[in-house]
Chains A and B, each alone.
Chain A
Amino acid sequence: MKNPQIIPIALLSIIIMYCGKPIDITDQYELDENSNRIPKIAFEGRISNQIDSNYVKIRRVVGIRSSKSPIIENASVTVSDNRGNSELLTYVGYGRYQCLSLLGINDGRVYTMTADVEGKTYSAISVMPNTPLPFDSVISVADEENEGKFKVLIYAKVHTEFDEYYLFQNFVNDTLQNGPGDIDYADNSILNGKINGFEVANNLEKGVVFRYKFYSLTKEAFKFYEGISSQLNNDGGVFTTPPANVKGNIARAGGLFQGTYFLTDTITVR
């Protein structure tokens, strides 16, 4: 489900892409990755209604010619709520600091992340968003445009009485299908509350296990994903906006620490 506002930009870009050919000119630019105007580290943190999805990752900001962001392994990361609960996260490798006991609860709790990294302290605050309405159903049907394959449709309701923000992920046989350029997010500002047979995946083989994850986000997290999507869809052409930094919620660092509530459903495609 895409925000309609990006459709015209995407279509114009598609039309233009048929006419022009991109040329790699990376080497023509010296980009100052050591600039003191950019943060040096970035956080990816989540507190949710599922314990194994509660973690904080810390990485370095690198130049665009680097292939990966190096992880940071010797930080001290604590997550606490405003009810007096707190946990020092356990480092489990690959830059990931894992929650073992603290669960995200949507009763007005506010969660705080505090991290000591290489002598500096960083912190972020997030509330838990609304609990989304449960799916009515997730079904697979024949895909008319791909003979012999299947597509998955969802039937659900969404709140309309207050603002709500969402992120979606697809998994096939436990492998995330959303690629590096694919952030699927939306809000409910122009929705009528009924999702009747919305297609979330297609071209699926019979027998695969399809899992759909539907996150409810804070407004802050929605803006964060919106910023990433804007960067990914920005072709720098005369019709696109100047690229901009994605606004997170951690001072002097990139990334996001977010409270999120998610639903998931799994079907075997047949």
Chain B
Amino acid sequence: MNSLLKFISITWAIALPLWSFSSDDTIEKYTLSGYIKDAKNGEDLIGASLFIKELKSGTNTNAYGFYSITLPKGTYTVLISYLGYKSTLQQLDLSQNITQNFALEDESIKTDEVVISERRKDENVQAVQMSMNRLTIEQMKKIPVLFGEVDVIKNIQQLPGVQSVGEGSSAFFVRGGSSDQNLILLDEAPVYNASHLAGIFSVFNGDAIKSAEIYKGGIPAQYGGRLSSVVDIRTRDGNMKKFAGTASIGLLSSKATIEGPIVKDKGSFVVSARRTYFDLFLKASSDPALRGTSIYFYDLNAKVNYNLGPRDRIFAAGYFGQDVLKTNQFGLDWGNATATVRWNHIFNNKLFSNTTAIFSDFNYGLGLTSGVQAFRWEAKIQELSLKQDFSYFLNTNNEIKFGLQLTNRAFQPGTIMPKSEISIFKETRMPLNNAVEYAFYASNDQKLTERLTLQYGLRFTLFQNNGATVYDYKNGKPTDKDDITDTLKFDYFDVDKSYYGFEPRFGARFALDENSSLKASYNHTYQFMHQLSNSASPLPITMWVPSSRYISPQTSDQVALGYFRNLLDNQIEFSVEGYYKWLNNTIDFKDDAQLLLNPTVETEVLRGTGYSYGAEFSVKKTAGKFTWSAAYTLSWTKLKIPGINEDREYFASWDRRHNLNTNLFYEITPRWSIGAAWTYGTGRPITLPAGKYDHEQTSVLVFSERNGERTPAFHRLDLSANLKSKKKPGRKWDSVWNFSVYNAYNRKNPFSVYTQNVGVGGSNATQTNNKQIVMLWFFPIIPSVTYTINF
């Protein structure tokens, strides 16, 4: 079935452009192009809408706030709108090519009436893109969060079709895919580990973020490399108009941002920094073990941008973050660093170019500091990439995108060094590895008729595994390291194994009427990078490996169908989407697989298939003083991996049958606002024993079914209230108090459910071989206060 869909899509992608690019040369046409920005600070607005009322047609800004639309000569009423901003109407006389920039003002919620009459909010119905959510920082701030820390990943975990494993984890699972199947980009640089403090926070500082787009299906052809989702996070560019800043003090972390123009309206910078101070609280503990423990993280985001001229603009952005967890004897640290340099160039009103150089690094280290077991273990992955993207706004009915990307990845899977003269450990180095990936893509958004719009594209990827140390095994199968018959070493750029493939992408929107539409999509994707994690949520120290002669690329085919409808003049958005996803060469691991510091990790990998299907319902009101949303997902995810569960199908660890997320936000007065969020999910799969037997001094558990039981259900209510400072004439700063209560009714939600030995004897418990099933819960009711000052 999925091969048939792939064939049909490739055929359409090649054939459609041959007969569908039509232009009527008798009609005089001109191009309107420019940027849409925030009037207050000059930030580009991504995905802002420009709509031509007379033609009932329009376009959106790209990731750099640029738009272009070609229209017949004439006079038009142009409506420019963006969520959270006041829409604006402008009359334009298009008798030549025009460059016209627009600036939108922040929306002050005065009356709903004013908002409705000017706003074009049918983007969710009219756009061909489905299975995509765009989050702005203003929307994210409305949802109450743990410790008052706005977090883009926690927001993503609330979306329909997205599952989390529960509290204390930043891992997320999209439409049945595992957590390593999500491509997380920060200003186009991939982030390999998005967790601080093992997932309690993500690495994304809310003050540095402008917006995030998550594609759960219908993934456009310019994205590739992961099967299940793309999270494209863009950071703010900095205030182009004046110097400004923000400082926040919370219970467990503080952060500060400073920004301003380099040259007013030509260039700007922004720097954001954040640090937690758990360690300071621990030092005050009466428990000596806790006093000697340090747990903290810090991160820094920085960005500059500058307009070199009317056609050229450059950006440079960087992120650096580190987590530290240590006791008197033990230390663990991990961190990410990313850097991008981008050049936007406008060739003409129709052709926009973006050239990006990308660097990404993820590394970790751990060890014991002294004594006979002193050691230090380090590992890292580094990526260098060059990317070229073009957007060609051919005419009103066709927007063509094409480009290429070249990526080199260097893997250092692990090195152990003894750290004292009496250490029992020897220096051990895992073999290095290198991989090169070439990708080419082309796509077109094409309006065929008033009702029917298509989005089709094709991506081609060539992947090469280089510079590896490769083992030959008996019978050619990597079953055990004792079966190694030969060792081959490849130089840095010598290719051991190549893979390539075409990835067709297809989307369609059929407008039923002005307020409703049907949409469909199909995508075929490859994944050549695999995270070595056999837990539900990856450890902070899990590494990535490339596809190789023994680890084939994973592939996926997904189809989706959706109905979208807006009600009450676009005040309320409703959608229902169904999907089915096939997973091939999906990876799992042998029981008790040793994935860390294992040079023959291919002997621990098992491959099989999986499938996932479900339905997502979403309804939301996004305008006015009172906004709310509800998202419900019903889904199944199953895997079948020979060697696991006696070759029978089993539920994936992230399978969750029902998931409901609701939230509401109300602006009581211009100063006071309140919010609430309630989330519910049925239990996630766990493996519990069916029996046990005694062996020597211990007791051994016996299991009949992988993931055959479920944790208790999860539900939680979070509340928040915001109090803004009074506006005083002449005052150059304002402030906000945020009061929040996480888990307001103190629900003991399962962090884990497991079997343990029963202890007897109170505080000096002695273990027995009697077993019990226990549930560990993590977060009780947690109030928090954050004070933020803006200047």
- Which A residues lie at the B interface, using CB under 8 A? 1, 4-5, 7-9, 11-12, 15-26, 28-29, 31-33, 35, 37-39, 41-42, 44, 59-69, 160, 176, 178-183, 189-199, 219, 223, 226-228, 230-232, 234-247, 254-256
Contacts and interface: CB of A to CB of B under 8 A. Distances in A.
Given A35-B704, A61-B702, 19 more contacts: A4-B377, A8-B540, A11-B327, A12-B539, A22-B774, A28-B773, A29-B709, A67-B769, A67-B770, A68-B769, A69-B693, A180-B757, A182-B697, A192-B423, A223-B592, A237-B776, A238-B751, A243-B688, A245-B702
Interface string B689-703: 111111111111111
B330 interface: yes
B767 A181 contact: yes
B709 A236 contact: no
Nearest to A31: B690
B776 A232 contact: no
Given A26-B773, A29-B773, A180-B767, A60 B295 contact: no
A180 B700 contact: no
B591 A23 contact: no
A69 to B, nearest CB: 4
B282 to A, nearest CB: 10
Given A37-B646, A180-B757, A235-B754, A196 B689 contact: no
Contact of A15 (B295, B368, B375): B295
Nearest to A71: B694
A27 B754 CA distance: 13
Contacts of A17: 776
A26 B689 CA distance: 11
Nearest to A226: B592
Nearest to B702: A38
A240 B751 CA distance: 12
A20 B754 contact: no
Contacts of A31: 688-691
Interface residues of B, number: 91
B193 to A, nearest CB: 13
Given A23-B748, A39-B702, A180 B426 contact: no
Q: Which 6 A-B pairs have the closest CB atoms?
A: A236-B754, A244-B591, A192-B426, A238-B537, A237-B752, A42-B693
A69 B692 contact: yes
Nearest to A238: B537
Contacts of B726: none
Contacts of B416: 4, 190
Contact of A180 (B199, B753, B768): B768
Given A23-B777, A227-B591, A244-B592, A256 B698 contact: no
A169 B791 CA distance: 65
A217 B540 CA distance: 32
B165 A238 contact: yes
18 contacts: A15-B293, A16-B168, A20-B751, A20-B776, A20-B778, A24-B773, A25-B712, A35-B690, A62-B692, A64-B689, A64-B773, A190-B426, A198-B373, A234-B754, A237-B752, A240-B535, A242-B591, A243-B703
Given A37-B704, A191-B426, A25 B693 contact: no
Interface in B409-429: 416, 418, 422-426, 428
Contacts, number: 259
Contacts of A192: 418, 423-426
Nearest to B695: A44
A134 B597 CA distance: 29
Given A18-B290, A230-B592, A236-B752, A243 B687 contact: yes
Given A9-B539, A37-B705, A237-B751, A199 B372 contact: yes
Interface in B737-791: 748, 751-757, 766-778
Contacts of A8: 332, 366, 539-541
A245 B690 CA distance: 11
Contact of B366 (A7, A41, A247): A7
B594 interface: yes
Contacts of A16: 168, 751, 776, 778
A124 to B, nearest CB: 14
B166 A238 contact: yes
A197 to B, nearest CB: 6
Contacts of B69: none
B171 interface: yes
B691 A62 contact: yes
A210 B223 CA distance: 64
A20 B372 contact: no
Contact of B688 (A18, A29, A223): A29
Contacts of B589: 241
Nearest to B711: A236
B638 to A, nearest CB: 15
